[in-house]
Amino acid sequence: MHRCLVQTETVLSDAGELDRERAHHLLNVLRVRDGDVVEFFDGYGHTRKMTVKPFAKRGLGFTAAEPAVTVARPAVALTLFACVSKGKRMDWTVEKAVELSVSRIVPVLSERTVVKIAPEECAQKAERWMRVAEDAARQCDAAWLPEILPPVGFQEAVEMLPTAAPVFFGALLPKVQLFRDGLRPWLDCPPKQAGWFVGPEGDFSPDEMDRLIAAGAVPVGLGDRILRTETACIYGLCVLNSCFL
């Protein structure tokens, strides 16, 4: 079934007309036809199946096919702290994080982050990643969209750790505990939130690693392979999903 991201009031309306942009996408990209059922969702947990009806001048009306449904938030709010990766890898990371039910994405600019983002570009980057998230949510049947912050400096991200604790991070340290062992204290009583912090292509600097540990983040090992930053992001979210969601 096709899905369409709309405003909350549209989901809760029994009938109405879609704006031109959404009507164009459904009619000319997804090729919906008179009488097709489309699921509307608002990214805040509300969904509703609607019957659509094209009309003159490329308009698209809708009427409720079923009552609105409210989908609960994920049981554990997951925050991904991800040092910004280069090229389209960050887009891919955002897309997969949405598929894995992340509640918040904090893009981080660390000492060894290759990508350079000027302060005036931060809001634009966040808007781009939100569009990626919206597309991913449509595809994966998500009812909730994550909060995506503009890129922040490393220290600012460290100061946010209490809002996501317990926070784990991949560490290339000798004799570091494996991820599964670091999670044991929370397995019997899952927390209401958790975080996963991933470094850049060049890894955390020693000072950054010290600051993470001092702030309460838990260093964990991911096995004997050195993963790309975008792979490490998804690895950690998969582990947290398996344990907590």
**Amino acid identity of 149?**
L
How far apart, in whole angstroms, are the C-alpha atoms of residue 89 and residue 234?
Answer: 12
How far apart, in whole angstroms, are the C-alpha atoms of residue 241 and residue 218?
Answer: 17
How far apart, in whole angstroms, are the C-alpha atoms of residue 65 and residue 14?
Answer: 9
DSSP reduced 3-state for 86: coil
Fold of 77-244: Alpha/beta knot (3.40.1280)
Same fold for the pair 3-70 and 77-244: no
Question: What are the residue ranges spanned by the domains of the chain?
Answer: 3-70, 77-244
| pLDDT of 156 | 97
| pLDDT of 225 | 85
Torsion over CA of 117, 119, 124 and 129, rounded to 10 degrees? 50
Tens place of pLDDT for every residue, the chain, 245 residues? 899 999 999 999 999 999 999 999 999 899 999 999 999 999 999 999 999 999 877 889 999 999 999 999 999 999 999 999 988 999 999 999 999 999 999 999 999 999 999 999 999 999 999 999 999 999 999 999 999 999 999 999 999 999 999 999 999 888 899 999 999 999 999 999 999 999 998 899 999 999 999 999 999 999 888 899 999 999 999 999 999 98
- Residue 30 corresponds to which tokens in the numbers above? 């997804």
Helix/strand/coil percent split, the chain, to 5: 35, 25, 35
- Residue 54 corresponds to which tokens in the numbers above? 């094209």
Residues 6+ away with beta carbon under 8 Å from 144: 43, 44, 45, 71, 73, 74, 101, 103, 137
| pLDDT of 132 | 97
Phi, then psi, of 228 in degrees rounded to 5? -60, 155
C-alpha distances in Å from residue 16, one per residue of 27, 50, 89, 165, 221: 16, 10, 39, 43, 53
| pLDDT of 232 | 96
Fold of 3-70: Ribosomal Protein L25; Chain P (2.40.240)
How far apart, in whole angstroms, are the C-alpha atoms of residue 80 and residue 167?
Answer: 9
